[in-house]
Amino acid sequence: MKKIGILHPEISAVVASMGHTDMLVIADAGLPIPDHVQRIDLALSEGVPPFLKTTQVILGELKVQEAIIAEEMLTRSPQIYEQLRQALPDIPIKHVPHETFKQITGEAKAIVRTGEFTPYANVILIAGVTF
């Protein structure tokens, strides 16, 4: 049994397989997931697991050089944006329209679906390098 880090086998495998500029999406319960992108569905019930906690756990293992969010998050869910900003203190965050965000998710290695019910609680994490 793995004793530290991400215990979920699919998430652990995706993070371990990511290379520079690969993308991993952490999504709320409502984000559409393209059929060709790996879906890792964690949603159990409303709010479980939460978007921010899931993001923080993944950030513990994934080197991130940039993040992308829907610009609508800034006005519709500013509390989520502020908490995400705190979780990514030195990482640039690019803002794009939600429709563009959804198109970009089609290029991701995987999408982790949470039980989050807060509008626009989604982030695309772009992998960096550790050297």
Burial of 98 (0-12, 13-18, 19+ CB in 10 A): middle
Q: Is 28 annotated as a binding residue?
A: yes
Q: Is 81 annotated as a binding residue?
A: no
Question: Rounded to an integer, what distance in angstroms lies between the CA atom of residue 66 and that of residue 128?
Answer: 8
Q: Is 87 annotated as a binding residue?
A: no
Q: Is 70 annotated as a binding residue?
A: no
Please state the three-class secondary structure of 108-123 as a single string.
Answer: CCEEEECCCCCCCCCE
Q: Is 90 annotated as a binding residue?
A: no
- 8 is an active site residue: no
Question: Rounded to an integer, what distance in angstroms lies between the CA atom of residue 54 and that of residue 72?
Answer: 21
Active-site pick, 8, 20, 36, 95: 20
| Residue numbering of the annotated binding site | 28, 98, 120-122
Give the active site residues: 20
**Binding residue ranges for substrate:** 28, 98, 120-122
